[in-house]
Amino acid sequence: MENSAGICHTNFPSPLFPINTFPLPLPVGAHRRSLGLSDGHGWREGEVSLLGSLVLCLWLLCHESLAQTYLEQAPFRGDAHRRVESEAGVSEYWNNADQQFDCAGVAAVRHTIEPRGLLLPEFSNSPSLVYVVQGIPSKTLSPEHSSSLHLRYGVVIPGCPETFHSFEQSQRRGRREDPHGEQSSREQHQKIRRFRQGDILALPAGVAHWWYNNGETPVIAVAIFDAANDANQLDRNPRRSFLAGRQQREGWQRERGAEEESSGGGNIFGGFDDEILSEALGVSREVVRKLKSENDKRGSIIRVERGLQEEQEDNGLEETLCNLRLDENIADPAKFDIYSRQGGHLTTLNSQKLPVLRLLRLSAERGHLRRNAIIAPLWHINAHSVIYAIRGTARVQISGAGQRPLFDGNLRRGQILVVPQGTVRVGGVQDQRQRHGQPTRRQDIRLAGIPIGVLANSYRISEQEVRRIKFDRDDETLLLRARRASQ
């Protein structure tokens, strides 16, 4: 069986501005990983997409020998290992104690939020990138509400004022004041943002956020946490702290005791004395007990029975730091960075397009491969890569300095694979759709930048063969159409 491979390279991020790169499918090479399907006679036909999950700009925290250990010796566990159900959705966690996640210092969770589901406000000690795999807004809402075109989420940035105004659901347009001119129904909050399918959301560490699904179908979002980021001053365990509700213990697992693992987890108010909270917040003890949510069994995703009807006024300060843009759509065809009619397309998201990524030191990439297409072998110069397969099945190979591949297996829909910095990968598409995301600085292995004489002597091949290697695909980019060389 003949296979194609893709190479992925990861680079060291610079101290001030680390950049991540995502692996692409290539012919088999040094360090590679390939996503592709062969039917015994070459690549199988059928359009396929590859979506590389978020490529994080991470410091090289994993020594090459460790990378080889976790890829070569440890069994591949790409599926989520724990499922936590809530009233209006489910959260699926990958085991961050698994060697591939532990080596790169990352963690992952996938949320499925049912219609009218609200993911309760929370914050984390680690920055994260969230990719919206699925999310279709409701088309039944009134056209006069711009929010009918998008789903909604909120981010509370510390130090920023509540300069946006909303009105309660009971107030209709034109009836914002009562007969006495009071605006008791009016309240202030920070900006309510909108998201849709294909969006990347960048969430800094310590920033509280919530999600609401006002659509008619479930929202599916995958979050990658960079627990090794400098913003995390604790250990490499990601922590999610909830402002409301009473959740089960997080699905991430790292040497917890049986008692801690089985016990439930409260919110940030749970550890305070009722009397102190009552005095600090100026509310009754009954309200304090509700804030603690001691008897709340709905989980972290709750159902809002009547929905959230909200009308937001512009505050005229959209360009200030407090309204920093935190999302960007990378599924929009108008934003393709690389397009090949026969190969597919690739969209890269970095700090030039979304400035907040400079602070987070993260980046992302989304790719789509057509039938018989592969990605040129490459590696990431300054970052580890995290690949999430949205659709399809692909064969992946990752190669290091040894003669055997560090990883040689299939990556299926919904699975995650971590690629260490500096390793090469190759991949091709299988008979379904699949996608992957990646960072920005990468290096392919087509060797075009090396003189012919150097290559001829290095590989002991003729200059004619070197020219074929260097220039045979000169008209193609990273997305290559698979083809066999003549024997």
Residue 479: in which H helix or E strand, if any? strand 479-481
Give tens-digit pLDDT for 467-478.
777 776 655 656
pLDDT at 264 over 80: no
DSSP state of 333: G
pLDDT at 171 over 60: no
Chain centroid offset of residue 487 CA: 42
**Protein fold of 54-58+329-481:** Jelly Rolls (2.60.120)
- Which residue bears the tokens 């692909």? 394
Give tens-digit pLDDT for 52-109.
433 343 433 444 444 555 555 556 778 888 999 999 999 999 988 888 888 888 899 9
- Of 120-134, 149-163, 409-423, where does the model show the most confidence? 120-134
- Confidence tier at 222 by pLDDT (50, 70, 90): very high
Say if domain 82-312 classifies as CATH 2.40.50.100.
Answer: no
Q: Please give the Cα distance from 92 to 440 (Å, whole number).
A: 28
Name the pTM for this structure: 0.74
Percent of the chain, pLDDT > 70?
58
Task: Please name which of 416, 377, 441, 340 lies closest in space to residue 131, comparing C-alpha atoms.
Answer: 416
Q: Where in the chain is the domain with CATH 2.60.120.10?
A: 54-58+329-481, 82-312
pLDDT reported for residue 38: 27
Q: Which backbone phi and psi does 260 adopt, to 5 degrees?
A: -70, -35
> How many CA within 13 A on the CB side of residue 353?
20
Q: Please give the Cα distance from 244 to 116 (Å, whole number).
A: 17
pLDDT at 288 over 60: yes
CA dihedral 397, 398, 400, 403 (to 10 degrees): -10
pLDDT reported for residue 240: 84
- Which residue bears the tokens 């009397």? 275
- Which residue bears the tokens 């959209």? 318
pLDDT reported for residue 328: 92
Task: Give the chain's length.
Answer: 487
Task: Please name which of 46, 90, 127, 25 lies closest in space to residue 396, comparing C-alpha atoms.
Answer: 25
Contact 94, 416 (CB under 8 A): yes
pLDDT at 399 over 50: yes
pLDDT at 201 over 90: yes
- Of 12-21, 87-96, 367-376, 393-402, where does the model show the most confidence? 87-96
